[in-house]
Amino acid sequence: MVEIFASERLKSLYNTIESYVREELLPLEDKIMHLPFKEVEATVLKEKRTEVKKLGLWAPHLPEKDGGLGLELVDFGQLSELLAHSPIGHYVFNCQAPDIGNMELLHKYASDDIKEQYLQPLMDGELRSCFSMTEPEFAGSNPVRMATTATKDGDDYVINGHKWFTTAADGASFAVVMANTAPEHENKYARASMIVVPIDNPGFELVRNIPIMGEAGEGYMSHAEVCYNDARVPQSNIIGGEGMGFMLAQERLGPGRIHHCMRWIGISERALSMMCSYAARRELKEGRVLGHMQTIQNWIAESRAEINAARYMVLHAAHKIDQQGNKAAKNEISTIKFFVANVLQQVIDRAIQTHGALGVTDDTILSWYFRHERGARIYDGPDEVHKSVVARSMLAEHGLNLKKSK
C-alpha cells in the first residue's frame, strides 16, 4: 500500500481484502485454469460473491448508496491491485471489466428505465453485460472508423454491423453497442452513439467465442464475435444522446485504463512473488538454488523497480483524475497505458524463464497470464497510439501542431 495515497477507509479495508484474496480466491486458481468457466461460476464463484457481499466488500467502486464502498479512484486502484492477485478477484467483487465501465456509463447517462432494468441488477451482480465496439474490418487504433449503423425506424433504432472482441458477451444480458447514428456527419467524432441491446434480441447473433491464444473460453472468460442483424431496440435505449458515442467512449476509457493498469500491477506483483519464491527454493545443486544466480537476482531487482515505477505512475494518474477529471489526465493515462502493459509482460516473461520448464506448463498460473495478457499492449489502444498521443502533446508545447493522423 502506498500510504501517501491511502485514505483511512482504504487502510481499514486493505488487510481484510488482501487476506480474503489469498485465502479464499487463490485456492480456486486451479479450477479456473482447468475447468469450464461456467461450471466454476455456477458453483463456487456464486458462493464467493455472496460471501463478499456479506462481508460488506462488494463493488468497491460503487457509491455507498448503490451498495458499494464508495472509494475514489486512487483508493480503488490500490484495492484493484490486490484483487488482481487472483484471475477472478475483480469478478468476485463485482468490479470486473467490462461491467464496471458499463455501470459507470449507465449511472451517468442512461434513462431511468434502463437504470432500473439493467443497471440495478448489474450492480447487484444478478446479470452481466458486454461492450461492443471493435470491428474486425477496421483498425481499432482509429476509433472513428466503424461500419455498424443504427438507423431510426419509427420509435426504434435498427442496428446492423459486425463486431468482435465483445468481451464476455456469452452469457451476458445486454450489450452496449457503439453504432453510427449519423455516419455521414462531417464531424467524425459526432457520428456514433451508444445503445443498449438485450442479448436476447432476435437481431443479436453471437457468432462465436473467438479462440484466443489456444482457448475460446466461455461465459465471462470469453471474447465474442457478434453480428447485429436488423437488431431493433427502442430509441430510448440510447445512452447519453445521439452523437455522444465517441465522447462516452473516451470518458469510459480514462478510468478503464487505470483499472487495467492496477490489475496488471497486481498480476506483476503476483508473478514477481512467485519468481522470488521459486528462486528461493529451486535447487540447482547441493546448497545452491536459483536465487544464488546473479541473472535471477537481476530479474528480481529489475522487476521490483519497474513495478514500483508503474504503481506510482498509476496512482498519481488516478489522483489527478480524482482531482481534475479525465481530460486533464489524458497524457498521464496514455503514458501509463503503454508503460505498465510492457512492465507486465516483461515481469511475466522473467517469471516464466525463472520457472524453467514448469513455467510453460499450466501447473502454475504464469502460463495463463502469459497468454491472457499478451493483449494488454493492444486493447484499449495499442502502445503505438498512446505513445503518439503523448508525443503530439509534448511537441505541441514546443510549437509543432500535428493533426491527428486518423
Residues numbered 288-307 forming contacts with its own copies, rule: CB under 8 A: 288-298, 300-302, 304-306
Give DSSP secondary structure letters for 189-246.
GGSEEEEEEETT-TTEEEEEEPPBTTB-EETTEEEEEEEEEEEEEEGGGEES-TT-HH
Site for its own copies in 145-174 (CB under 8 A): 145, 164-165
Q: Is the CB of 204 or the CB of 370 nearer to its own copies?
A: 370
Select 88 or 390, whichever has its Cβ closest to its own copies.
390
Residues 22-51 that bind its own copies (CB under 8 A): 33-34
Judged by CB under 8 A, does residue 309 bind its own copies?
Answer: yes
Return the residues of window 106-135 that contact its own copies according to CB under 8 A: 134
Residues 6+ apart with CB under 8 A from 194: 105, 176, 177, 178, 238, 239, 240, 244, 245, 248, 249
Does 284 interact with its own copies (rule: CB under 8 A)?
yes
Q: Per CB under 8 A, which of residues 188..227 are in contact with its own copies? A: 210-215
Minimum distance, C-beta of residue 209 to its own copies, in the bound complex (Å): 11
SS (H, E, C) 142-159: CCCCCCCEEEEECCEEEE
Residue 115 C-alpha from the chain's centroid: 22
Per rule CB under 8 A, is residue 368 in the interface with its own copies? yes
Q: Which amino acid is at 342?
A: N
Asked if 4 is part of the footprint of its own copies (rule: CB under 8 A), the reply reads: yes
Is residue 280 a contact point for its own copies (CB under 8 A)?
Answer: yes
310 lies in the site for its own copies, by CB under 8 A: yes
Rounded to the nearest whole angstrom, what is the least distance from the CB of residue 331 to its own copies in the complex?
8
Grid coordinates given for 39: 461450471
> Least distance from C-beta 372 to its own copies, angstroms?
9
**367 lines the binding site for its own copies (CB under 8 A):** yes
**Can you read off the three cell numbers belonging to residue 392?**
503530439
Q: In this complex, which beta carbon is closest to its own copies, that of residue 55 or of residue 284?
A: 284
**For residues 233 and 320, what is the distance between their CA atoms, to the nearest angstrom?**
38
31 contacts: CB under 8 Å, gap ≥ 6: 40, 44
CB of 257 to its own copies, least distance (A): 14
User: 151 phi and psi, to 5 degrees?
Assistant: -105, 135
Q: Of 119 and 146, which CB lies nearer to its own copies in the complex structure?
A: 146
Q: Is residue 328 part of the contact set for its own copies (CB under 8 A)?
A: no
